[in-house]
Structure 1
Amino acid sequence: MSGNIVAIGLEGIVVAETDLSLVDGQNGLLVYRGHWARDLAIHHTFEEVAHLLWYGHLPNEQELGRLKDALKANRALPAHVKAAIDAIPADVDMMSVLRSGVSLLGESGHGWPPTLDQVIALTAKLPTIVAYRKARLDGRTPLEPRADLDHTANYLYMLKGEEPNPAHVRALDAYLILTQEHGLNASTFTARVIASTQSDLISAITGAIGSLKGPLHGGAPSEVTEMIEAIGTKENAEPWIRAKLEKGERLMGFGHRIYKTIDPRAKALSVVAAELSAGDPWFDLATHVEKVGMQLLEEYKPGRKLHTNVEFFAAAVMRAVGLADELFTPTFAVSRVVGWSAHVLEQAKNNRIIRPQSNYTGSMPE
C-alpha cells in the first residue's frame, strides 16, 4: 500500500561505504585497497593479498611470515568436524558439506565483535574441509596439512594427494587472488546483513556460503566446462554456439551483470591460463570457443558488450590444474572467505543493523 519506490534486487541502491574494493563495471576496473586486482594476481601471493584486505596494506617480510605461520597453525580440523563430515551421505553436494562444516566451527569465543584471529583461523580451515571431504569420497585417507607448504600449495596437496606442480600452484593462486573480493555481491551482502545483527563470524560466513551455493552466483565455471565439452571440437564451435543463440539461450562464461566491458579479472587470468596451458588441446579449444563466441554474440546481440568473464577462464585454469567440476564453487568459497570476513570486520567497526523496507501489496481487512 506504500508509495515507496521499489528497487527490485536492490539494484543501484547504495547501502554501505567500504574501502575494501572498487568495482567499476562501466569501465572494467577492479581495485583492492588502492591496488589494481590484476597486478596483485600477477605479482603477489594469496597471503599477501589477504593481508592487504584484512590489515589495509601489503605486508613486509616479517608481517607476511607471521600471517603464513598463523594460517598454517590453524589448518587442522577438530575431531568433531571430521566426524560430522564422515556422517554426511555421499550424495550431498560439496557446498552443503562446506556450509555444515563451517557451521560447526563456532566454538566459544566466537562472539561479538569478530576478530582477526577468528578470521585467520576460519580461512585456514576452509581448504581442509573441502580436501577432507574429497578424500573421503575418493576412498582415500585424508591427508593432514603440511606446514612446509603455503596456502594454495597445501590446498592442492591435500586435494590431489601428491606434490603440487609449481605452475599449477601459481595459476590457482592467481585465481584465488582475483576472487578474494568483489564488492557487495549477493554472498558478501548476506554476510554483512548477518554481522549487522551482532551475530558471530561463523554465522555470517555460513550464510555467505549458502548464498554462493546458488547457481546464479557461484555455479558458472562448471557450466563453462560442460559447454566446452559439449562443443567438443573447433569445427563444431560455430554451429553449436549459433544453434544456442538461435534458441535465445545464454552462453555460459560470457557477460556479467556488473561489467559492461572486459572483466578485469578475466584479463589477468587469461594471461596466467595461457602460460599454464600452452599446447594443451582442451585449453586450445577453450580459446577458440571464446573467439567464436565473441564474434557470434556481436552478430546476434550487437552493442550488448557481452565479453568473456572470470568464470570462463576460471574453468580453463581449474581444468588445467586437475580440479573436478564439483570443486569449482567450493574453491571459489576458499578464496572469497577473505573478502567476506574483511566485510564482516568492516561492518563491525561502524555497525548499524541492515533493515530495508518493503511495500505491502496484499489486501486490507474489511
Structure 2
Amino acid sequence: MELRKGLEDIAIKETSITFIDGELGRLYYRGYSIFDLASFSNFEEVAYLIWYGKLPTRHELDDFKSRLAEERSISDEIASLVKRTAKTANPMDVLRTSVSMMGLEDKDDGELITKSMKITAKIPTIISSIQRTRANLDVIEPDPSLSHSENFLYMLHGSKPSRERSRMLDVGLMLHIDHEMNASTMACLVVASTLSDIYSSIVAGISALKGPLHGGANSEALRQFMEIGSQENVEKYVLNRLSSGQRLMGFGHRIYKSLDPRAKIIKDYLSKVSKDEETQRLFDIATKVEEIGIRILGKRGIYPNVDFYSGLLFHFLGFDLDLFPTIFASARVIGWSAHVDEYLKDNKLIRPKAIYVGDLGKKYVPIDER
C-alpha cells in the first residue's frame, strides 16, 4: 500500500464545479474564467452559478437576491451568543458555534442548497456583529434593499459604502467561493459522507479553515508587511527570512506553480482604487516583496497566492485582522455546500486506510507486575 501523506494528488470524486490549472495559473468556476467573472459578474450571480450550475437570467437573479436578503437576520439567541463571546473568543470559534446554533434552530425539512443559502446570508451579520461589539458600537441590522457586499459593509461601518468599496468586497468574496478539494472542503465531505446534516458539514469546514496553514495566512501576510514598515526594509527582510529557513508569508501553493490568478486580480484592483496613506504604504511594501520574492523563489515555482494580497484588501475595507478567516468562510460556504451536494449524488462513506508500523504479539503484563 502506497503512503500519500496529506492525501496529496488523491482524487476522491469527479466535479463540474471548479477547474484549476496550476502550471498556467488558470481558475474556472463551472467553466467560466475567474478573470471574466471578476470583471463582469457579482457575488450573488457567482453564488447562483456555483449552486445551480448555470448563470441566472435577470428574473432568476433578482429572485435569488431577494431570497438571500430575507435570510440575513439572526435569532436573538445567536445575537446573544455573539454579544457574550465577541470580546474574548476567537472569531472563528464564535462563527462555528453560531452555525451550530443555526442547525439547532432550523426545524424545516428543506433542501440542502436552501439551508446553505440561510447560512451564507447570516454569516456577514455575525461577522459585523463581532467587530462592532468589540468596538463597543451598536449592532447594525441588515438592510434588505442592499446587495450582499453593500449590506456587509453597511453592517460593519454603519453607513452605506461607496460603489468602489462594495465592488472590491464583491470581487474578494467571489475569489474565495471555491478552490476545489482543499482541506476544509475535504472536512465537509468527510462529515457529509456519513449522511450527517449540512450544518455539521459547514461546522467541520469552519473548524478546518481556522488552522493557520489554511485560513489564517492572509492575516499573517498583512502582519508581515506591517512588520517590514517601509519599502527600504523589504530586501533585507526577505533575504533574512529566507536564509533563516522561514517561509515568506503569502508565497507558495500546493497546486499553483505560477502566479495565483486570484492574487493577480486582487493586486490589479488594489492598484486602481483610491487608497488612504497607510494602505498605499502597505501596498507599496507588498509589491516590493512580490518582486524580490519572485526573483528568488520563482525559479522553484513558488509565487504569491491569494493570501498575499487578500489580507490587504480586507484591511482596506475596514475589517479587523483576526476576522479575515471568517470572511474567507463567509464566501467558501458556497463552495463547501456545492461540493457536498455534488458528492451526495453518488455518495460513498469516506474511510481511508492507515499503514500500521507498531509491534504485534506483545505479552500482556498484569498491573501489579509492571
Q: Does 1:180 align with 2:170?
A: no
Query: Superposition pairs for residues 1-366 of structure 1, below 5 Å?
Result: 4-88=1-85, 90-106=87-103, 107-109=105-107, 114-277=111-274, 280=277, 282-296=279-293, 298-299=295-296, 301=297, 303-366=299-362
Structure 1 Cα separation of the partners of residues 276 and 127 of structure 2: 30
Deviation at 1:284, TM superposition (A): 4.7
Deviation at 1:15, TM superposition (A): 0.8
Query: Normalised by the size of structure 2, how large is the TM-score?
Result: 0.93
Structure 2 Cα separation of the partners of residues 93 and 63 of structure 1: 37
Deviation at 1:281, TM superposition (A): 5.2
Structure 1 Cα separation of the partners of residues 200 and 274 of structure 2: 39
> Bigger shift: 356-365 or 79-88?
79-88
Q: CA offsets, 1:193-216, max 9 Å, x none? A: 111110001000011000000000
Check 1:110–1:247 CA distance in 2 against 1; reply closer, same or farther (3 A cut).
Answer: farther
Structure 2 Cα separation of the partners of residues 218 and 80 of structure 1: 27
Check 1:133–1:303 CA distance in 2 against 1; reply closer, same or farther (3 A cut).
Answer: same
Structure 2 Cα separation of the partners of residues 108 and 332 of structure 1: 24
Secondary structure, counterpart of 1:30 in structure 2 = strand
Query: Normalised by the size of structure 1, how large is the TM-score?
Result: 0.94
The residue type equivalent to 2:325 in the other structure is T
Secondary structure, counterpart of 1:238 in structure 2 = helix
Tell me the number of residue pairs that the alignment of Structure 1 and Structure 2 aligns.
Answer: 361
Task: Report if the CA contact (8 A) 1:290-1:308 is conserved.
Answer: no
Structure 1: which 5+ residue stretches go unaligned? none
Deviation at 1:183, TM superposition (A): 0.2
Task: Report if the CA contact (8 A) 1:103-1:203 is conserved.
Answer: yes
> Bigger shift: 36-45 or 197-206?
36-45
Task: Report if the CA contact (8 A) 1:94-1:327 is conserved.
Answer: yes
Q: CA offsets, 1:28-50, max 9 Å, x none? A: 11110010112111211000000
Structure 2 Cα separation of the partners of residues 104 and 304 of structure 1: 46
Secondary structure, counterpart of 2:2 in structure 1 = coil
Deviation at 1:278, TM superposition (A): 5.6
Structure 1 vs Structure 2 CA RMSD? 1.8
Q: Percent identity?
A: 39
Secondary structure, counterpart of 1:118 in structure 2 = helix
